[in-house]
Amino acid sequence: MTLDPITLEIIANRFDEIQRIMKHRLFRTRYSTILRESFDGGAGLTDATGQVIGASGMNIHTRPYAHFVRGILAGYGEAGIEEGDVFFTNDPYRGGTAHSPDMAVPTPVFVAGELVASCTSAAHKP
């Protein structure tokens, strides 16, 4: 499938806006001074395999998004993940977080019963 440049730019900008809204809501809904004032977190989107589509926030939190999703897929398998599941991880070996106070929350996204993406946030949670 080939997309024309205008459609591709519209899709890219929409993905960018989604992950920026996710990051904004993460920073505004947590009652954590570290997160609110130091912006010690981030949010992003991956495809079903963990390939990063877009990420916003501190680089130390956005880089391991692929590891978060791949760790969940390795642990549960695609068949073991269901709609409505939300995962929490701070495992630096299987989850990819930099250190244990960094919590990641990968949430699978399903369309018509098929796993298509993951919305992920990661932040320093004291």
pTM: 0.79
- Tell me which amino acid residue 90 is: N
CB 38 within 8 A of CB 123: no
pLDDT tens track for 38-53: 777 888 899 999 998 8
18-25 long-range Cβ contacts below 8 angstroms, 24+ apart: 18/45, 18/54, 19/43, 19/44, 19/45, 19/53, 19/54, 19/55, 19/56, 20/56, 22/56, 22/119, 22/121, 23/56, 23/57, 23/121
pLDDT tens track for 100-121: 778 888 999 999 999 999 998 8
Distance, CA of 2 to CA of 113 (rounded, Å): 26
CA 69, distance to chain mean position in Å, is 8
- Tell me the pLDDT band of 33, cut-offs 50, 70 and 90: confident
Q: Residue 79 gets which letter from DSSP?
A: G
